[in-house]
Amino acid sequence: MFLSAGELSAILPLLIPAFGACMLPLASLDKDQATVKWIRGAMFLMALFSLGGGFLYTARLWASGAQPAFGALHMDRLAQFSAIFTFVAAALAVLQLWDHLHQEGWVKGETLSLLLFSATGMIVFVAAKNLILLFLGLELLSIPLYALTATVRTRSQAYEGGMKYFITGAVAASCFLMGSVLLYGVTGTLDLATIGQFLGAARPDPLALAGAALVLGGFLFKMSAVPFHQWTPDVYEAAPHPVTAFMSVATKAAAVLALMRFLGAGVSGPGSLRIQSALAVAAVLTLVLGNLAALAQENIKRMLAYSSISHAGYILLGLVAGTPEAHAGVIFYLTAYLFMNMGAFGLLSSFGLVGDRTTFDDVKGLGWKRPDHAILATLCMFSLAGIPPLAGFYGKYMIFKELIVQGHIGMAVTGVLASLVSVYYYLRLPVALFLEKRSEKAERDDAERPAFKARMAGAALIVCGVLVVVLGLFPGSLYKGLAKRVAVDAFQAVR
Amino acid sequence: MITPWMNSHLLTFLVFAPFVCGAILLLFPQRQAALAKLLAVMGATAVLAVAAIKLFRLPAGENGVLYLERAYWFTAVGVPVEYHLALDGLNFWLVILTVFLVPLTMLGTWNSLSNRAGTAFALFLMLETGMLGALVAQDLLLFYLFWEAMLLPMYFLIGVWGGSERKYAATKFMLFTLAGSLLWLVALLYTAGAAGSFSPEVMAQAATRMPVKVQNLLFVAFALAFAIKVPLFPLHTWLPDAHTEAPTAGSVILAGVLLKLGSYGFLRFAIPIFPGAAAHYAGHLAALSTVAIVYGALVAMMQTDIKKLVAYSSVSHMGFVMLGIASMTVVGTQGAMLQMLNHGVSTGALFLLVGMIYDRAHTRRIADFGGVALRMPVFTTFFLIVTLSSIGLPLTNGFAGEFLILNGTWLSGFGWGRTAACFATLGVLLSAAYMLWMFKRVFWGPENPDPESGTHHLNEDLTPREIAVMLPLVALIFWMGIHPQTFLGHSEKQVARALQQAQAPEGRPAAFDSEVK
């Protein structure tokens, strides 16, 4: 009728989760959802089902090698990777949400709907080749996240966090919009590739540079890179654990991939140097500040928030190196980060640590109670610290290798020293889990609380932990099959 | 079906069998600890048996390589990584030492761990995988992976089963080692990026094309990582803490094998890849080694805790190993090879003995003991033999190694050779002083009159199990002292090859290296 088959296949990865997101509120209209378990179960199944459908469809698209487009929306390898990535992250988050929301006593279908909308927004954000669509994606991914942060309304911090995120996010989005306006005003086009060529010139219009800086700020905000990181710890602490995990992984990935497209869209020549040095400054600041601030945290979620900031630094280093190999390294890094960070947050859900009970004191000695979960989460922590032979190491390895080959040895040394610092705070979790004894007061409190099985969150944690190890032992297949193809194809498509 | 597979993947089997065994044992519940311990010892013994049956029969192939496994693993960012394991003269005896020490240590500390002993033994087996893997890995990235993978089990062994300061000691151990190895990683990636490969031979060729300054810098980065592991003065401060806090078994393996990987790294990678830089820095290495020998001995003399004393004696003994390597002569390096084995056996045995007396007395303070010889004659006999071997009495293993090292240093032709040898000899004297003084205070003299002291808890001598653990170690001590050639024959050609590129300084007798064996 109106849509050709190619156009339809370009937007189906968006339509499937969006359809699920629209249907979910209907299911949750039932006022009995808080009491009847099967309705809750059906809602979660629906969410998983639409995520699974989107995943399968995108995976088939990937396997067929097609890179369809719908107007300015290009479902190329980069966008397909982003879709697959987001679906996996969202599915893991949904599994953890089942247990976490039950522990909090606040199970609402709207949460899932918001999550799916946000996932849709992320894919739009990465698939956009045009400023308007890019902004649309940004808003579609952000606004549900503001609400998700404040999901558990019974907690007072939830409001505070949600409001904080909303206000800072709105400022960042308006900066992004202002930047887009400037870019459009100067260049007269909305197309990213044309704007990229314009920025690549030796002496672009200062107004366009200001626009580019504002847009870059928007990306860095979503990535939670210094100096746009201030919101991260508060918001991460306020949001439900699985939502935090989803935010830290998927939002960061969407921002990185979209930035990759923005930079890759022909920003080459003398102009690229300018953007690269801006990124380099941000990367080094992010690494230093994120890692040092994480040292001082007593709350695991805040520690993970600062760790998430520092990981933005490593990823930015990869973008600074800028070669296709480095981009493949970044994509590998993101994939590893997906599983290791999801695993780290999964521990909180699978141990049933709700509310504010997320300090290192709260997990003291818990490791011996659920050794399987604790060991896998510990592996995730070591992987975050970049200790081989776990997946996290290879991401760093690839990025550092390209940095060194490109001659940025000082930055590589900074990165290495930063990850040395990070070992100290990542070690605190295994120390608390295994090396410390549970205090008597905590033992008494445990006895009073009903025992929690947390099967779904546990399953998600096990999947993450096992994948962290498997990717560590066989990094070649992921690199060759996924990361390299994304990097190479994405660049060919643009240039 | 299994035998042909094993014959073609012998090293893979040796490296990963302990890991698989340990991973299975981790799943055992706590109440099955006794069974888990038994299975762990059986697993480690099986690995030892396979190694003993298979490895000694291997014929020497090209370049002295006894056994080789080489397969492509993966390529990332343009540099292929190989799964390349090899057994040759450099690592043959260290591999044997490792597979030999692990079951022995398990038996020796059978009752030392009160809680979750099964998990500890499982971690031990995983540690064995890391150590064996690092010893046989030829590809540098593979080596790096095993090198780092060793950290995790050791971290938990110290951190969970250690003494009162265990958290501090474990974290310090981890951070010190990582500090070295992360900077080394940068150097490694730089060299690999230039060479397009992680193979040491290709990297060595690429290194010759680099400016001398860069080569020196890269060598320093390599050396730093290895020197922390050895540990070389002044990077040794993690060692006394780690040794004192670690459970007995952890100390034995730490001293017995882990430290050797540092000096082995010099011989296997740092010197062959950057021979020029190695010769350039040989004097610095020798100076630090000599300081380590004397300083370690002096500090050991002042210790009040037996285990800490042994830990500082390790610093001193590993100083000898590094001095032998720094001499850049075949004799000195052969001595270093032998000294690595000596130190593994003697210090391992010392830690085991200290653990045995600690299990009975629950104290390690020298002042708490006295007259132990009367209460535990068999224990005293063993302790005396091991003490004498640690001092380096002729006919025990310590003598042969130290003699070769001093010989090599004296004749190295470097300007500092004779001075260093003199100071190192002083270290031998000091080692006699601190060991015998400690022995006198603990074992001889009147019993400590305080009824709360350590001596009064010593009601039984060694059990048959403990004697069975000590006997093979004592046998080795004498064997290595009387016929060191058994342990040197394998490594000679390999050592010569490793040193080939390192320029001998002017004035070294030309025929020296080939003459002295």
Q: Give one word for A224, left, alpha or beta, with left for phi > 0 and alpha for psi -120 to 50.
A: left
3-class DSSP state of B27: coil
Chain A interface includes B163 (CB < 8 A): no
Q: Residue B507: helix, strand or coil by DSSP?
A: coil
Ranges A176-180, A475-479, B306-310: which has the least confidence = A475-479
* CB B457 within 8 Å of CB B361: yes
Both structure tokens of A474: 């066989």
| Partners of B85 in beta bridges | B69, B137
Confidence of residue B516 (pLDDT cuts 50, 70, 90): very low
Q: What are the distances in angstroms from CA B444 to CA A92, B374, B436?
A: 66, 8, 11
Task: Give the other-Cβ count within 10 Å of B62's Cβ.
Answer: 6
Give contacts of B171 with chain A, Cβ < 8 Å.
424, 427, 431
Cα–Cα distance, B77 to B204 (Å, whole number): 21
Looking at the complex, report in whole angstroms how far the Cα of residue B394 sits from the nearest Cα belonging to chain A: 44
B190 with A368: Cβ contact below 8 A = no
Position A489, amino acid: D
CB contact under 8 A, B192 and A434: no
Measured in angstroms, the CA of B495 and the nearest CA of chain A are apart by 30
- Contacting B residues, span 191-210, partner chain A, CB-CB under 8 Å: 192-193
No. of H helices and E strands in chain B?
25, 2
A39 vs B477 pLDDT, higher one: B477
Size of interface A-B (CB pairs under 8 A): 97
Would you say residue B510 has pLDDT above 60? Answer: no
Is 50 exceeded by the pLDDT of residue B165? yes
Asked if B405 contacts B329 with a C-beta cutoff of 8 angstroms, the reply is: no
Peptide bond into B394 cis (omega under 30): no
Q: pLDDT-derived band of residue B496, with 50, 70 and 90 as boundaries?
A: confident
CB contact under 8 A, A405 and B193: yes
> If you write DSSP's letter for every residue of B170-221 in order, what string do you get?
HHHHHHHHHHHHHHHHHHHHHHHHHHTS--HHHHHHHHHTS-HHHHHHHHHH
Q: Which residue has the higher pLDDT, B106 or B517?
A: B106
For helices A324-350 and A455-473, give the axis angle rounded to 10 degrees: 150
| Backbone angles phi and psi of A73, in degrees to 5 | -95, 110
- pLDDT tens-digit map of A344-378: 999 888 888 887 788 888 888 888 888 888 889 99
CA distance B2 to chain A (A): 23
Q: For residues A255 and B371, which has the higher predicted lDDT (pLDDT)?
A: A255
At how many degrees (to 10) do helices A192-200 and A131-149 cross?
110
pTM comes to: 0.89
Return d(Cα A168, Cα B153) in angstroms, integer.
44
Report the length, in residues, of chain A: 495
Cβ–Cβ below 8 Å for B170 and A435? yes
Does A479 contact B76 at a Cβ distance shorter than 8 Å?
Answer: yes
ipTM rounded to 2 decimals: 0.86
Does the pLDDT value for residue A321 go beyond 50?
yes
Q: Residue B462 to residues A342, A478, B364: CA-CA distances in angstroms? A: 52, 55, 17
- C-alpha span between B478 and B482 (Å, rounded): 6
Nearest chain A Cα distance for residue B106, angstroms? 22
Q: Looking at CA atoms only, how far is residue A404 from chain B in angstroms?
A: 6
> Which pLDDT score, from 0 to 100, does residue B504 have?
53
Q: Closest Cα of chain A to B383: distance in Å?
A: 33
- What string of DSSP letters covers B357-372? HHHHHS--BGGG---H
On whether any CB of chain A is under 8 Å from the CB of B73, the answer is yes
The arithmetic mean of pLDDT across residues A67-93, rounded, is 91
Give the one of A329, A412, A435 whose C-beta lies nearest to B167's C-beta. Answer: A435
Q: Which of A375, A394, A424 sits opposite B76 (nearest CB)?
A: A394
Q: What b/e string do you get for A380-389 counting C-beta neighbours within 10 Å, with b at 16 or more?
A: bbbbbbbbbb
Q: Do B189 and A474 touch (CB under 8 A)?
A: no
Percent of all residues in chain B with a pLDDT value above 90, rounded to a whole number: 12
Residue B449 pLDDT greater than 80, yes or no: no
Nearest to A484, CA basis, from B79, B141, B77? B77
Pick from B33, B62, B86, B326: which is nearest to B199 by CA? B86
B151 touches chain A (CB under 8 A): yes
Provide the residue count of chain B: 517
B83: β partners:
B71
pLDDT for the residue numbered A265: 60
Nearest by CB: B149 against A375, A388, A400: A388
SS3 state at B75: strand
> In whole angstroms, what is the distance from residue A467 CA to residue A482 CA?
15
Q: Which are the contacts of A106, defined by CB distance < 8 A and separation ≥ 6?
A: A151, A152, A153, A154
pLDDT at B374 over 90: no
pLDDT tens figures, A9-33? 888 999 999 999 998 888 777 666 5
DSSP state of B85: E
Chain A CB within 8 Å of residue B79 CB: yes
Tokens of B121: 């033994």
φ and ψ at residue B74, rounded to 5 degrees: -160, 165
Q: Report which secondary-structure segment, H or E, holds B84.
A: strand B79-87
The CA-based dihedral angle spanning residues B44, B50, B55, B59, taken in that order and rounded to the nearest 10 degrees: -170
The answer to whether residue A335 neighbours chain B at the CB level (below 8 Å) is no
Please say whether the beta carbons of A218 and A179 come within 8 A.
yes
Q: Do B77 and A398 touch (CB under 8 A)?
A: yes
